[in-house]
Structure 1
Amino acid sequence: MRGSEPSYNRTDFPYSFNEEGYLRHRETYEPYRFPFKLDDVRETERQHQALCHYITRQVYNLLEEKFNLIRFYLEEESFVFLSPGALEHPGSLVVLIQDWGSMRCGVWSWKIVAHEGLELGSQIPYLRWAALESRAVILMNPNEGGQPLERHVQLVWDRLISKSFAEHVFVVAHGYGGLAFVDLLCNWLKEVQDRVKAVAFLDSSHSLWHQPLGKAGRDWLKSHSRSWILSTKPLNRSVGSLKAGCPQLSAGTQCHDSVPALCMESVFRFFTKIMKPKAPPVPFEIITRSKSHVTDRNNNSPTY
């Protein structure tokens, strides 16, 4: 028997998702309001768990029923979701790694899901975009099973990604997920360099100053990754930093949880651009000043 999962059959949770993906009260249809109880820590924690469990159940149902994703168990209490035939797909494979916390597979932020809907807080729009571009997907689940996030990422790499037929692997890493990916790069440098085409860091927690990546790894990140960071600048504006190990761009927000949704289109454009082969330089003849003058006199035409 697989590891135990949270008890989702809660009849006392008064909210549900409507057709547009917004959480609404079952009777009043009002938007979700978290009932903070400063004088009752246990009740506040119970409400938090009820919300997370409900969102998790609904997202899991969508992943399996609407997108036909398959639950793959890595260990007794650790699993991920992947698209059918993901490991045999010869094209591109997109890997999503969420931040550390209470989020489960398919969710970037339960707070954003609760207050702004599934389109902004879940990974469903990424699945939809990947499907339109015929890309396979693996959704990591690092906060399930009680293991360190770094171990989960290494386990998924060892058992799934490294064995896939994908020609190009693309990674989207949010928050601590970015740190876990760089940790993977530190330990599996050659293997990751050979398989991963590009990495999109979304307000990532990684640090090239504190993680022992080495010069080869840092050089690889400079040319194969982009980092969207919190900024008051408009989306995709360059944001310079002496500590940056790769080009940094504005996420167009100062809200950490909102970054994946706001940057999704930019991320996929980056992936598409990096796949296109660079055009070879066009040969041209260097015309010297003296030669141009001779040509001008012979042809009786002006030179600019």
Structure 2
Amino acid sequence: MRTVLLGMNQRETELKEKVCAVALTDSAHNIWLQETSKGTQDWMQQHCCNWVSSPEPVDTLLDPMLRDCPRVSAGTERHELTSWMSFDSIFRFFNKSLETKEDEEAEETSNTVTTRSSSLKYKHQDL
């Protein structure tokens, strides 16, 4: 987590464009102890999830200890099994995050205004 935060602090805009999700397993991080911008904190809350050891079923939303990234149950109380037990859930999280990012990019592209001259240029090139 520290590496992610260091990267975010140094190249926040670039990382936000390229990284669509961050998954943590039983992380004991605390972004409040790091020097992070409000933008980074907000981004982490929206694009990060921490699967933690808990007796609750996998993916059960747990009370946040801090306002950083959401915490969900990994479906086990054993720290050494949190990654394995949450594996499928983590990849569903990645897929959903990637689909959301692709949908947002497609919407931005569809909102781009095409002028008559630029559309004619492409038609001419097709001939």
Normalising to structure 2: TM-score of the pair?
0.71
| Distance (Å, rounded) in 1 between the aligned partners of 2:82 and 2:57 | 13
Counterpart in 2 of 1:200? 23
SS at match of 2:76: coil
TM-score in terms of structure 1 length: 0.32
More strand by share: 1
Q: Does 1:240 align with 2:63?
A: yes
Identity %: 29
Which position in structure 2 is the counterpart of 1:261? Answer: 84
How do residues 173-212 of structure 1 correspond to structure 2 at under 5 angstroms? 178-212=1-35
Residue pair 2:27, 2:52 contacting (<8 A) in 1 also: yes
1:91-240 superposed matches below 5 A: 178-240=1-63
Q: Deviations 1:62-105 (Å, cap 9, x if unpaired)?
A: xxxxxxxxxxxxxxxxxxxxxxxxxxxxxxxxxxxxxxxxxxxx
Q: Distance in 2 between matches of 1:188 and 1:259?
A: 30
Once the two structures are TM-superposed, the CA of residue 180 in structure 1 deviates from its matched residue by 2.6
Q: CA deviation at 1:197?
A: 1.0
Q: What residue number does 1:270 align with?
A: 93
Of structures 1 and 2, the larger Rg is shown by 1
- Asked whether the equivalents of residues 64 and 70 of structure 2 are also in contact (C-alpha less than 8 Å), the reply is no
Q: Which has the higher contact order (CA 8 A, sep 6+)?
A: 2
Q: Which residue of 2 aligns with 1:165?
A: none
Unmatched 5+ stretches in structure 1: 1-177, 281-304
Q: RMSD across aligned C-alpha pairs, in angstroms?
A: 2.0
Q: Classify the secondary structure of the residue corresponding to 1:222.
A: helix
- The 1:184–1:255 alpha-carbon spacing in structure 2 relative to 1, beyond 3 Å, is farther
The answer on whether the counterparts of 1:222 and 1:247 sit within 8 Å (CA) in structure 2 is: yes
Equivalent-residue separation in structure 2 for 1:254 and 1:217 (angstroms): 30
The question of whether the paired residues in 2 share the 8 Å contact of 1:186 and 1:213 is answered with: yes
Aligned length: 103
**Does structure 1 retain, via aligned residues, the 8 Å contact 2:51–2:74?**
yes
- Unpaired runs of 5+ residues, structure 2, are 108-127
Shift of residue 192, structure 1, vs aligned partner: 1.3
Structure 2 letter corresponding to 1:198 = A
The ranges of structure 1 where at least 4 consecutive aligned residues each deviate by more than 4 angstroms after the TM superposition are none
Amino acid at match of 1:237: T
Residue 242 of structure 1 deviates from its aligned partner by: 4.4
SS at match of 1:226: strand
CA-to-aligned-CA distance 1:193-215 (integer Å, 9 cap, x gap): 12111110111132111011120
Deviations 1:42-71 (A, max 9, x none): xxxxxxxxxxxxxxxxxxxxxxxxxxxxxx
SS, match of residue 233 in structure 1? coil
